[in-house]
Structure 1
Amino acid sequence: MLTRRSPRLAALLLVGAVIALSACGSAAEPGTDDDTTATQAPNASSSPGALPVRNDLVDPRVVPWRTWRAVDDRTLEVTVTAGPTDCYGAEPEVAESEAAVRVRVRVGLLPHAAEKECAAIALESVVLVQLAAPLGTRKVEHLT
């Protein structure tokens, strides 16, 4: 037998459920800065392709990175969307301070790929970023 609930009680239950679900999705993950949209990735790499890090890329452009993880105390792995690793490479730029590590990534064609056809597909890739000093407790942020 079904029982009738008052509209007020039903509305309160619905609002409570929405608030509970919203709280589940808004908790900041460890290693994140609430002021940025980037999040720290899990410690285990999900094995996306690693873009070669170079300083001779053809037509490099800044691409946003989404997540990061510390590989060791002086190496970060940031996740970007780019083309195939046989055609594209990355050029990370890092600005370090006592409080933060700021990272910007440019992606461009590898010199040998500039004259060939590369697949026009977007793939999740990682870029290794070397730090001058250990990360420690510094925040990782986007360099703007």
Structure 2
Amino acid sequence: MISHHAALVYTMVLVSASDREMPDIELRQIGEIIRGLPVFADYDSSTLPQTTAACAELLDEPDGLDKAVAMIAAALPLKLHETAYALACDIAAADGRVPVEEMRMLEMIRHALDIDRLSAAAIERGARARFTKL
């Protein structure tokens, strides 16, 4: 079992790594989220490298992606499901493009966290609005 903090970090890492790239802008966004959101107020950010490394190791295992998503769902209390999905959407939107691999990962996370389609659409639209550039 992982902590709720680790589950939120895993969620962001899964989305960022889903297209086999982790652009600097997405990594910076993960850092900004961890520094700025109240849900991370009691998180020891010095553990971030170990948490991301553990997630990467898990993804290298057979069925690692399915295991990671299941661990996320098991670790998060219901009240953080929409938060996790919102963080995933923010990471996907951070670089201004959402490749099909990231869309598929968002779908997997949405289903694992039982986010209804209407709520998901609202969260996705909010992320799109926050990261829109002229």
Q: Same fold (TM over 0.5)?
A: no
Q: Relative contact order (C-alpha < 8 Å, sep 6+): which is higher?
A: 2
Structure of higher CA gyration radius: 1
Higher strand share: 1
Give TM class, smaller chain. under 0.3
TM-score normalized with structure 1 length: 0.21
Higher helix share: 2
